[in-house]
Amino acid sequence: MKTLVLSDIHSNIYALEAIWARERDCDVVYCAGDLVDYGPYPKEVLAWIQGQRVPCVQGNHDLWVTMQYRQGNTLDRVPEAERAWVHHNAGLLDEAEIAYLEQLPQMMTFELDGVQYGLTHLYQEYKEIVSLHAYAQFCTERFDNAAFTRLILGHTHRQAVRYLSDELLWLNPGSVSYRRHDDPDQTAHYTTIVDGRISLHRLDYDLAPLYYAVQQVTLKEEEMKATTRFFGARARP
């Protein structure tokens, strides 16, 4: 059985479609949240996720976009000096799409190849789980002590597999869309699990149409600088 694990897509349909072009032979897809915000294509990403019937948990950016929508904070109603991607995305989505984001669960459990998994968006801000005690405490609190040996997290955008014992591990597939300030890599990150074996992947894709799209949006300077760093052309070593 082949499983595709995604996280932190952030309204980047180009990266998502590039991954799918390579991994469309998978049997099932799971997503660890943050479908929207910090990108120009929230509607397209949600249509893809719903069309593929992807089990997904709610990310903090998913919640943030829904809150801005409910408060009426869309791009046309926010002063130009304050405009952010969250306002842009909230203005593009309709009631049905917002309701979909609102109903996403905080966590879920499932079985793959006889192994039990837990799925949730984040642990504690940008911290990592570094001990069996912390793992057990978190699972008790977030999952009501549900039994599983592999935990899938998103949020940090840092791709990793961490073993806490021979049996227990957590993994982060990395962000489909973009990296943190200290990581210049511009590839799309994701994970596959084939017959229980975890593989971390990074995929080059054409950023030019994505960068063109983000440049057509007028946002505050900080937001524009971030998207230039994420998606703009840069010298290759």
CATH number for position 213: 3.60.21.10
Q: Any bridge partners for residue 120, and if so which?
A: 107
Q: Which range of residues forms the domain containing residue 208?
A: 2-108+171-231
Strand 169-172's sheet: what is its strand order?
Answer: 107-112, 115-120, 150-152, 169-172, 160-163
Instruction: State the total domains in the chain.
Output: 1
Q: How far apart are CA 42 and CA 86, in angstroms?
A: 10
Q: What pLDDT score does 235 carry?
A: 47
Q: What pLDDT score does 233 carry?
A: 84
Q: What pLDDT score does 110 carry?
A: 97
- Average of pLDDT values for 106-115? 97
Q: How far apart are CA 56 and CA 211, in angstroms?
A: 27
Residue pLDDT, tens place only, 172-194: 999 999 999 899 999 999 999 99
The percent of residues above 90 in pLDDT, for the chain, comes to 96
Q: 118 falls in which pLDDT band (50, 70, 90)? A: very high
**Would you say residue 30 lies in a domain?**
yes
**Would you say residue 113 lies in a domain?**
no
How long, in residues, is the chain? 237
Q: How far apart are CA 188 and CA 202, in angstroms?
A: 5
**Would you say residue 8 lies in a domain?**
yes
Threshold 0.75, pTM exceeds: yes
Q: What pLDDT score does 145 carry?
A: 84
DSSP for 177-227, written as a single string: S---TT----SEEEEEEETTEEEEEEE----HHHHHHHHTS---HHHHHHH
